[in-house]
């Protein structure tokens, strides 16, 4: 099982950026947690602050035959038709993940342009959301 963990803008600052909203865990912590929880899964981890780089990773997941993607598009969630189209264009299922509950925050965060192209959305559960996304992808594959 090969799963891409894809993170968008500003997620490289996890652990220091608004810890009251996003917690104090880092992307390195997430990577360690997922490897420990799912030792039989081959993970690829990628973070970028650039929309095009995220699209290229989604395309590569498709071209390389990955089994699924857990994707936190960050602020692009609410603005990127291009990311929606990239998710819609690929075969591997994509689960949208958000650390904070986007529906309990500012009104502009309530709408995800990416979610309609995804298999599902997990929001507001911190790093546990990534664990749940991986569990879903494992079940969807079997």
Residue tagged active-site, from 22, 76, 84, 131: 22
Catalytic site includes residue 131: no
Q: How many residues can be counted in the chain?
A: 142
Burial 45-74 (b: 16+ CB within 10 A, else e): ebbbbebeebbebbeebbeeebbbbbbbbb
Residue tagged active-site, from 84, 98, 130, 131: 98
Catalytic site includes residue 78: no
Query: Pick from 129, 136, 107: which is nearest to 23 by CA?
Result: 129
Planar angle of CA 17, 22, 28, nearest 5 degrees: 75
Q: Which residues contact 15 (CB under 8 A, 6 or more apart)?
A: 23, 24, 25, 26, 29
Q: Which residues contact 17 (CB under 8 A, 6 or more apart)?
A: 10
Which residues participate in catalysis according to the annotation? 22, 98
């Amino acid at each position: 099982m090969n799963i891409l963990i894809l993170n968008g803008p500003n997620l490289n600052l996890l652990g220091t950026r608004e810890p009251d909203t996003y917690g104090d865990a880092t992307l390195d912590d997430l990577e360690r947690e997922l490897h420990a929880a799912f030792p039989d899964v081959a993970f690829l981890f990628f973070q970028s602050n650039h929309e095009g780089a995220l699209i290229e990773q989604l395309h590569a997941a498709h071209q390389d035959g990955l089994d699924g993607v857990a994707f936190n598009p960050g602020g692009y969630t609410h603005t990127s038709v291009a990311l929606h189209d990239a998710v819609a264009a690929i075969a591997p299922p994509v689960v949208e993940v958000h650390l904070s509950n986007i529906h309990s925050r500012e009104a502009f965060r309530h709408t995800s342009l990416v979610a309609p192209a995804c298999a599902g959305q997990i929001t507001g559960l911190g790093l546990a959301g990534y664990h749940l996304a991986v569990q879903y992808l494992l079940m969807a594959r079997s």
